């Protein structure tokens, strides 16, 4: 059982229990408890469902690539900051502050194309590169990562 799923289950049980308590007793305490659960839902959605940061696609067919492992490391000490696996839509996301990072991507059936379209990613070999994360309107930079089969 996935810890995220357990947390979501507990969260929704708490919300429904609080709603039932409020309707049965019409109390301020129940409303306060429900407010805390509402805040937790907002935080959980922000943590578990960040907006996409990039898309991985097949450079020849232009089809989106599922199952690519993307890693973000701090550039000065190779400490891993975040890791994600692309979903059915080829999307991946990272939660990181502004700064310079080392980016790696791997997939058993693909290699990374030489990437020259963006200054965000400078490829030093076929599967890794340097990434500079900047924010525009409080959103992280967005990039397209081409792979070749």
If asked whether residues 80 and 120 sit together in one domain, one would say yes
Picking from 109, 65, 111, the residue whose alpha carbon sits closest to that of residue 87 is 65
Mean of pLDDT values over 129-138: 46
Alpha-carbon gap, residue 146 to 92, rounded angstroms = 13
If asked whether residues 125 and 64 sit together in one domain, one would say yes
Alpha-carbon gap, residue 91 to 54, rounded angstroms = 6
If asked whether residues 128 and 64 sit together in one domain, one would say yes
Q: Which residues contact 34 (CB under 8 A, 6 or more apart)?
A: 15, 18, 19, 22
Strand, coil or helix: 68: coil
If asked whether residues 92 and 120 sit together in one domain, one would say yes
If asked whether residues 76 and 98 sit together in one domain, one would say yes
Alpha-carbon gap, residue 6 to 17, rounded angstroms = 16
If asked whether residues 21 and 88 sit together in one domain, one would say no
If asked whether residues 43 and 77 sit together in one domain, one would say no
Per-residue pLDDT reduced to its tens digit, 73-85: 777 677 888 888 8
Strand, coil or helix: 133: strand
Residue 146 confidence class, pLDDT cut points 50, 70, 90: low
Asked whether the whole model's pTM tops 0.85, one would answer no
CATH number at residue 69: 2.60.40.10
Q: Are residues 141 and 133 in contact, defined by beta-carbon separation less than 8 angstroms?
A: yes
If asked whether residues 65 and 115 sit together in one domain, one would say yes
Range(s) of the domain holding residue 27: 3-48
Q: What is the pLDDT of residue 133?
A: 47
Mean of pLDDT values over 128-136: 45
If asked whether residues 72 and 14 sit together in one domain, one would say no
DSSP sequence for 90-118: SEE-----SEEEEEEEEBTTBEEPP--S-
If asked whether residues 66 and 87 sit together in one domain, one would say yes
Q: What's the number of domains the chain is made of?
A: 2
If asked whether residues 134 and 97 sit together in one domain, one would say yes
The pair of structure tokens assigned to 103 is 């980016």
Strand, coil or helix: 130: strand
If asked whether residues 83 and 108 sit together in one domain, one would say yes
Mean of pLDDT values over 44-56: 67
Q: Which residue has the higher pLDDT, 96 or 63?
A: 63
């Amino acid at each position: 059982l996935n810890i995220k799923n357990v947390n979501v289950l507990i969260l929704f049980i708490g919300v429904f229990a609080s709603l039932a308590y409020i309707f049965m007793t019409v109390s301020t305490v129940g409303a306060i408890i429900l407010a805390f659960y509402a805040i937790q839902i907002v935080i959980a959605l922000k943590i578990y469902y960040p907006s996409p940061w990039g898309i991985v696609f097949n450079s020849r067919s232009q089809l989106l690539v599922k199952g690519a492992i993307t890693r973000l490391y701090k550039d000065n000490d190779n400490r891993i900051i975040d890791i994600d696996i692309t979903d059915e839509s080829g999307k991946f996301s990272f939660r990181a502050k502004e700064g310079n990072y080392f980016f790696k991507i791997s997939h058993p059936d693909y290699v990374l194309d030489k990437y020259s379209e963006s200054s965000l990613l400078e490829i030093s070999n076929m599967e890794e590169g340097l990434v500079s994360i900047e924010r525009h309107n409080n959103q992280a930079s967005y990039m397209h990562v081409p792979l070749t089969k």
